[in-house]
């Protein structure tokens, strides 16, 4: 039987920002469907949502696998009305210089962060367009606007999904469609992203993988310290909720990076060579202290 209530589909909904989105939209009375590759966390989050009185369903999905995303969609469409709000949020992080990046690092991160969004749109967008309602939120990052060193793979994935979201926004305007589009561009948010390796498939892991290098361990520890000062996912979810209500496209979570973004845009406008500005980590530490 199809439940005739508006539903919210959130990929990567078992943890961090996705989990906070599930609680935020759930509080408004929507059916919540969270998809995640981490089965144990998915079970725990689904129980927590239900304990809070939210109608929640957890479905295992690997967003980097088209067949898995298609089964996810089929299951949702057999039990719920098409998603009213679709949050393509699942993502993983990996750091390290491009020169040391293994092809498997690229395949893993782009598989989840970029192909996950592509497969999600391929599965759900036609139905949402046909119904001519609903809202799509794609999670990019500040890393979609800037190109800080030692984050090349992640930067590439987030620039790509930002561009997809902007293109989709124009296309919906061109078609006079009522399907809304937003792109979430968080700064630093207190989540489990630094432990993304927990879901890295063995087949996409090599001995040279960036996340196993000592350099990367050091970088991670430095970032981990900052993450303790970072935003709570709940405040990010609140911003997303308001943005969907007001059909706001860009969702920034803080002002810390705006000068760096402006500086990049000025470089582009004047075709000036990019120069490395203040270090991301130091800049954020100075701002938060
Ligand atoms: N935390 C931050 O500072 C920050 C900043 C900017 C953008 N983001 C983005 O926010 C999104 C959510 O990340 P988060 O910070 O909440 O991290 P998180 O690790 O807490 O949550 C990410 C979720 O995605 C799931 N996931 C990973 N691989 C998957 C796959 N193949 N299929 C399905 N699910 C998968 C994980 O199991 C996890 O539940 C990501 O797209 C991330 O890039 C995070």
Give the distance (Å) from ligand 1 centre to CA of residue 92: 5
Give the distance (Å) from ligand 1 centre to CA of residue 163: 19
User: Would 124 be classed as within a structural domain?
Assistant: yes
Give yes or no for residue 65 CB within 6 A of ligand 1.
no
Considering its fold, how many domains does the chain have in total?
1
State the pLDDT confidence band at 220, using cuts at 50, 70 and 90: confident
Give yes or no for residue 236 CB within 6 A of ligand 1.
no
- 119 close to 66: Cβ distance less than 8 angstroms: yes
* 54-79 residues labelled b (16+ CB within 10 A) or e (exposed): bbbbbbbbbbbbeebbebbbebbeee
Ligand 1 atom nearest residue 198's Cα: 37
Q: What is the CATH number of the domain that holds 97?
A: 3.40.50.720
Rounded Cα distance, 135 and 133, in Å = 7
**In the predicted model, what is the mean pLDDT of the chain?**
91
User: Would 1 be classed as within a structural domain?
Assistant: no
User: Would 74 be classed as within a structural domain?
Assistant: yes
Residues 6 or more apart whose CB falls under 8 angstroms from that of 103 comprise none
Question: Do the bridges between strand 56-60 and strand 7-11 make them parallel or antiparallel, or are there none, so unpaired?
Answer: unpaired
Give the distance (Å) from ligand 1 centre to CA of residue 258: 23
Going 249 to 253 to 255 to 258, the CA torsion angle's sign is: negative
pLDDT above 90: residue 228: no
Q: Which of 116-120, 121-125, 222-226 has the lowest mean pLDDT?
A: 222-226
User: Would 106 be classed as within a structural domain?
Assistant: yes
pLDDT in tens, 178-195: 999 999 999 999 999 999
What are 132's two structure tokens? 């001519």
User: Would 95 be classed as within a structural domain?
Assistant: yes
State the pLDDT confidence band at 225, using cuts at 50, 70 and 90: confident
User: Would 207 be classed as within a structural domain?
Assistant: yes
Rounded Cα distance, 37 and 14, in Å = 9
User: Would 71 be classed as within a structural domain?
Assistant: yes
pLDDT above 90: residue 160: yes
Q: Which domain holds residue 105?
A: 7-288
User: Would 170 be classed as within a structural domain?
Assistant: yes
φ, ψ dihedrals at 189, nearest 5°:
-130, 140
Strand order in the sheet with 7-11: 56-60, 31-36, 7-11, 83-88, 135-139, 180-185, 250-252
pTM of the predicted model as reported, rounded to 2 decimal places: 0.93
């Amino acid at each position: 039987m199809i439940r005739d209530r508006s539903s919210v589909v959130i990929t990567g909904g078992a943890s961090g920002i996705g989990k906070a989105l599930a609680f935020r939209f759930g509080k408004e009375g929507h059916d919540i469907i969270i998809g995640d590759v981490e089965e144990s966390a998915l079970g725990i989050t689904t129980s927590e949502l239900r304990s809070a009185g939210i109608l929640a369903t957890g479905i295992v999905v690997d967003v980097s696998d088209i067949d898995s995303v298609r089964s996810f969609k089929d299951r949702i469409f057999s039990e719920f009305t098409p998603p009213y709000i679709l949050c393509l949020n699942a993502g993983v992080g990996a750091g390290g210089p491009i020169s040391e990046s293994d092809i498997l690092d690229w395949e893993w991160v782009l598989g989840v962060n970029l192909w996950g969004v592509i497969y999600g749109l391929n599965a759900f967008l036609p139905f949402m367009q046909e119904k001519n309602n609903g809202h799509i939120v794609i999670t990019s990052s500040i890393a979609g606007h800037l190109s800080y060193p030692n984050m090349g793979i992640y930067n590439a994935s987030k620039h790509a999904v930002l561009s997809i979201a902007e293109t989709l926004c124009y296309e919906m305007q061109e078609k006079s469609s009522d399907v809304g589009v937003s792109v979430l561009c968080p700064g630093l948010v207190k989540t489990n992203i630094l432990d993304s390796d927990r879901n890295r498939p063995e087949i996409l892991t090599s001995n040279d993988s960036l996340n196993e290098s000592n350099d990367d361990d050091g970088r991670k520890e430095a970032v981990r310290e900052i993450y303790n000062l970072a935003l709570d996912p709940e405040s990010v979810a609140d911003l997303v909720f308001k943005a969907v209500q007001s059909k706001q496209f860009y969702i920034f979570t803080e002002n810390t990076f705006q000068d760096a973004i402006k500086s990049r845009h000025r470089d582009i406008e004047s075709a000036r060579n990019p120069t490395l500005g203040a270090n991301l980590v130091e800049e954020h530490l100075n701002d938060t202290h």
